Structure 1
């Protein structure tokens, strides 16, 4: 059976960028303004606050795991209120670890933080289908997976990059499926947690080339058309046909880049009756015709990413 979550994480092509162990003491705060890279954190000892965007601070405890598939602005801080004087955006390397706050005191908290990158040209679109924030408490499996990622990233063993890609795929899937469905923000995870919607989502992935309509998908989910549309949109965050289009275009981009079939063949595989109809939809969605995308160089791919 097709697993939509595994398909999307695999298509994202996660790769390790860096990871580090950080310890802190006293009053401190670090603010980051990142470029949308996936961010993960596991608290090894003690506790601290994490604030994502303009949200309320979240208290993290030992064993907690956090995943932000697209991190733009977040901060970590001590539990004691930090003042502007406590801001330290450049941790100091001390005894093999990066240190925040007071250097002459025993640490109050230790945590492992890391960033990944997504190799997919459709990363922005695919990430939009995932929860914006994942917080898992007390999951030993995730902690073990993170440690394996760290160990592998620091070693120079044969096939290192291949192993890291596989470990990161497992890490992302495990983190996402470990999140309680009630606490997940709108996205694919909440859709798959709904038994009725999960059937329709799997049908879309299994038979992407079928001429699906909202009514047909509602029938698969054993819901009325209106109830299905409202329930799907509320859970996943996008309308059913918008989700289907996003998935079709993601697969089309993958196959075109890898030269896995002609434009006509790709059009048929993603559910279009003609190459011309596919070309119109692809151009509107991606920002350039499929022929240009298929033969494009780095500049074209970057333009498509930005679009």
Structure 2
């Protein structure tokens, strides 16, 4: 059986490249504006508060994992935040740990933050299939991984950074596949958590070259056309045909990059009856014609 999440993650090529231990005490607030970069946070001890545009403020506690696939403007703060408009200047301690709030007080929260890198050139296209925010809590497997991350943070063992990077990669994938208990915003995860919508998504991934219609996909989901359309858009955050187009374009870019198929063959594999129709759609979605895209990939 085709696994849509595995396909997306495989094409994304996630790699946890940077991590930083952060502690806080007293009242503090830190604003992040790392536009477009994948951001994650693991709460090792204590708790903190996350505020992100478009989402209700959330208190993160020990064992929580947060992933923002394309981070924009958001803030972390103490559970009881300081006055509005007050932001804390981070201080880097001799150990390399970043301190927020009262420097001389015992720490009240300890968390690990960092950036992932999606090594796929199609990252922006693929990230659009993921939710804007993933917040995982209460997952036993994730709790074990978070515990191992915390253990590595506290110790100074050989190859510590390498082990942390590998653990965080696994944590990232585990978080994405914890769909049934993940408080995720609309996207692929919530779609796969809905059995009816998931049936349609899997069929699109199994046969991306088929000339799917909303009516056919609704039949696969055992729903009426209107109910399916509304349910899909509500859970995935986009209309069924828009999702299908995004996935087809991601597959097309991957095929063109491999240089193993001609443009006409790629067009057929992703559901277009002619190379010219495919070229128009590809250029509109990606920004350049498929031939130019393939040449650029060869040069790089």
* TM-score normalised over the length of structure 1: 0.85
Provide the secondary structure at the position in 2 that maps to 1:284: helix
Aligned in 2, Cα 1:47/1:181: closer, same or farther, shift over 3 Å?
Answer: closer
Aligned in 2, Cα 1:156/1:230: closer, same or farther, shift over 3 Å?
Answer: same
**Conserved 8 A contact 2:90-2:98:** no
Does residue 37 in structure 1 map to residue 42 in structure 2? no
* Paired residue total: 295
Aligned in 2, Cα 1:138/1:217: closer, same or farther, shift over 3 Å?
Answer: closer
**In the TM superposition, what are the counterparts of 1:1-307 in structure 2 within 5 Å?**
1-53=1-53, 55-83=55-83, 87-145=87-145, 147=148, 168=169, 170-180=170-180, 183-296=183-296
Structure 1 position 71, deviation (Å): 1.0
Q: Find the aligned partners of 1:199 and 1:269 in 2 and give their Cα distance.
A: 21
Provide the secondary structure at the position in 2 that maps to 1:17: strand
**Conserved 8 A contact 1:42-1:143:** no
Q: Find the aligned partners of 2:87 and 2:167 in 1 and give their Cα distance.
A: 36
Q: Find the aligned partners of 1:70 and 1:196 in 2 and give their Cα distance.
A: 27
Structure 1 position 293, deviation (Å): 0.3
Map Cα deviations across residues 224-259 of structure 1 (whole Å, 9 max, x no partner). Answer: 222222221222111111111110000101111221
* TM-score normalised over the length of structure 2: 0.87
Structure 1 position 172, deviation (Å): 2.8
* Aligned CA-pair RMSD: 2.9
Q: Find the aligned partners of 1:264 and 1:95 in 2 and give their Cα distance.
A: 57
Map Cα deviations across residues 5-24 of structure 1 (whole Å, 9 max, x no partner). Answer: 11112211112230011111
Structure 1 position 121, deviation (Å): 2.5
Q: Could you tell which deviates more after superposition, 87-96 or 99-108?
A: 87-96
**Conserved 8 A contact 2:142-2:174:** yes
Aligned in 2, Cα 1:187/1:54: closer, same or farther, shift over 3 Å?
Answer: closer
Structure 1 position 155, deviation (Å): 6.6
**Conserved 8 A contact 2:15-2:117:** yes
Structure 1 position 182, deviation (Å): 8.0
